[in-house]
Amino acid sequence: MSVSVNPIVSVAGLNKWFGDFHVLRDIDLLVGRGQRIVICGPSGSGKSTLIRCINALEEFQEGRITIDGIELGPNLRRVDDIRRDVGMVFQSFNLFPHLTVLENCTLAPIWVRHMPKKDADAAAMKYLERVRIPDKANAYPGQLSGGQQQRVAIARALTMTPKVMLFDEPTSALDPEMVKEVLDTMVDLAGEGMTMLVVTHEMGFAKEVASRVVFMDAGQIIEANTPDQFFANPQHARTKLFLSQIL
Ligand code: ADP
Ligand code: MG
């Protein structure tokens, strides 16, 4: 399969401990270019920790993570190279409250990429249009709804033209009526061919766009399958139990 020959994200034999606590156990994960991987599993199963390792926000003790050929070893050398290629969207938006929407989007391109301000502004406006919120460019995050803030966070990540986008429960802090506008934005992004790793329990989203659904429990990948197979024919008792609780 071409995916295993040229994955954009490759995680091999990843093990991580917090002190004595073995939080990630022998994680292997390949993500092909343009694939959308949905990661689900009970609270505390290690989903955020895995995503944070891939974005070099956490150290790990064993294994290898490679992003588009750049290897991130346990000692986190090349962190800046990795972060440049990987966009991240958190549950809690993490926008800078004292900067406008436009300034939030242009901060990293100007300071990390050394992009001239004029070019950064143009790029940011392009992505704010993409997430359908260009009219809020000069507003401050506190003046926006949660759904709007999360769409700004997506535009901000896109302004760095990442090769991969990571999402960690991007809709779980939102009021129900705002979930759809954020999921719609993510569906659009998937349709444009973006490589995405998404931690979410939005199983409708998984069915619509996932190339594969990965189920984690107690630090392990228990099962990974196409959405059709995953939902219709879960293989493990723990997967069945999890699905019975959330569907
Ligand atoms: P999930 O995202 O699946 O809910 P997490 O990756 O956040 O799970 O957490 C996995 C486990 O690791 C949990 O038991 C959590 O309490 C623990 N954990 C997370 N971060 C830390 C930390 N910085 N120090 C110690 N334990 C942590
Ligand atoms: Mg989490």
**pLDDT single digits (tens) 141-172:** 999 999 999 999 999 999 999 999 999 999 99
Ligand nearest to the CA of 58: 1
CA distance 96 to 180: 24
Three-state DSSP state, 95 = coil
Question: Which one of the ligands is nearest to 43 CA?
Answer: 1
With helix as H, strand as E and coil as C, how does 123-135 read?
Answer: HHHHHHHHCCCHH
Mean pLDDT value of segment 39-66? 95
The reported pLDDT for the residue numbered 113 is 87
Closest CA to 149 of 188, 178, 119: 178
> Is 60 exceeded by the pLDDT of residue 25?
yes
Measured distance CA(134)–CA(136) in Å, rounded:
5
The ipTM estimated for the assembled molecules is: 0.98
- Residue 128 CA to ligand 1 center (angstroms) comes to 33
Q: Can you list the alpha helix ranges (DSSP code H) found in 112-171? A: 117-130, 146-158
Q: Which pLDDT value is given to residue 228?
A: 96
Residue 33 identity (one-letter amino acid) = R
Identify the residue whose C-alpha is closest to ligand 1 atom 6.
46
Residue 3 reports pLDDT greater than 90: no
What spacing in Å lies between the alpha carbon of 215 and ligand 2's midpoint?
13
Q: Which of 24, 26, 166, 15 has the alpha carbon at shortest distance from 94?
A: 166
pLDDT for the residue 79: 76
User: Residue 131 pLDDT > 90, yes or no?
Assistant: yes
pLDDT band at 84 (very low <50, low <70, confident <90, very high): confident
- Ligand 1 — pocket residues by CB below 6 A? 18, 21, 23, 41, 43-49
Q: Give the least confident one: 26-40, 71-85, 153-167, 229-243.
A: 71-85
Q: Which two tokens stand for residue 19?
A: 């002190």
> What atom in ligand 1 is closest to the CA of residue 216?
3
Q: Cα(81) to centroid of ligand 2, in Å? A: 24
Residue 69 or 43, more confident: 43
The length of the chain, given as a count of residues: 247
Residue 246 has pLDDT above 90, yes or no: no
Express each pLDDT in 29-41 by its tens digit. 999 999 999 999 9
- The answer to whether the beta carbons of residues 39 and 53 sit under 8 Å apart is no
For residue 238, give Cα distances in angstroms to 215, 228, 241. 9, 18, 5
Q: What is the amino acid identity at position 244?
A: S
Please tell me which residue, 84 or 37, carries the higher pLDDT value: 37
Query: Ligand 1, residues 18, 38, 166: which to mutate, most atoms within 8 A of Cβ?
Result: 18
pTM, rounded to two decimals: 0.94
CB 13 within 8 A of CB 63: yes
DSSP state letters, 44-88: TSSHHHHHHHHTTSS--SEEEEEETTEEE-TT-TTHHHHHHHEEE
Measured in Å, residue 74 CA sits from the centre of ligand 1 at 18
Residues 6+ apart with CB under 8 A from 95: 101, 104, 141, 149, 152, 153, 156
pLDDT for 75: 63
For residue 80, pLDDT over 90 is answered with no
The number of the ligand nearest the C-alpha atom of 91 reads 2
pLDDT at position 72, please?
Answer: 84
Look at residue 74 in the predicted model and tell me its pLDDT: 64
Residue 121: pLDDT band with limits 50, 70, 90 = very high
